[in-house]
Amino acid sequence: MKQYGAEFFGTFWLVLGGCGSAVLAAAFPGVGIGLHGVSLAFGLTVLTMAYAIGHISGCHLNPAVSIGLWAGGRFPANQLLPYIVSQVLGGIVAGGVLYLIASGKAGFDVSAGFASNGYGEHSPGGYSLTAALVTEVVMTMMFLLVILGATDARAPKGFAPLPIGFALTLIHLISIPVTNTSVNPARSTAVALYVGDWAVGQLWLFWVAPIAGALLGAAVYRFIGKAD
């Protein structure tokens, strides 16, 4: 239960810190942090939690990561479901806290997006479904490649949170214009449920693509990372 609690609170922090920065601080008049700040915020949530709970649960914070680690031979199948449930619940609770905070400002409109992921007319840059699908698959694949490599027994000890956090920052710098960056079904679900309508209708992509990308990343690392 300690592992599941760690995943709950870790994912809570990821959604509150990452999506919270997008909703509350990205466009704040005069000092808004913009795309660069939001990207860094997501990376920092993973980096800080990796040091805080990595020794408890492994700090997955993401159903796609858990599935990718299982596919890579690093995680037992019997823990997949409780990890994923813990991650999704932690994200949803964080979405609720963020909604309570954001709705305290006059003029707040959750239908404007609430940091939800989307494609087509709901993509920040107007990118198509195909572009969104390719982006999410490839970005998640590379994220798993970094995670598996950084946590390999042959990698330098104690430094894994740094490349993993920086990788998530880079992923956001690349893909926020395309999908608002998911690579994490729990993060996408956490805010889409509060928006409803189109965000829930497009949510399927942000489960399917990250999981497919995670499986690809695990397969690639099994090939290139295999010890001689």
pLDDT along the chain (228 residues), means of 10: 96 97 90 94 97 95 97 95 97 97 91 92 96 98 96 90 97 97 97 95 98 97 82
Per-residue model confidence (pLDDT) at position 21: 96
Which sign does the torsion angle of CA 129, 131, 137, 139 carry? negative
Say what the pTM is. 0.94
Which of 126, 130, 119, 142 is closest to 203 using CA atoms? 119
Token digits for 42? 């997501």
List the Cα angle 135/192/123 in 5-degree steps. Answer: 40
Domain boundaries, the chain: 2-224
Per-residue model confidence (pLDDT) at position 228: 63
Task: Find out whether 33 and 25 touch, Cβ atoms under 8 Å.
Answer: yes
Amino acid at position 171, single letter: I
* Rounded (10°) angle between helices 185-195 and 80-102: 40
Token digits for 222? 């099994």
Instruction: Write the CATH number of the domain with boundaries 2-224.
Output: 1.20.1080.10
Task: Find out whether 12 and 88 touch, Cβ atoms under 8 Å.
Answer: no
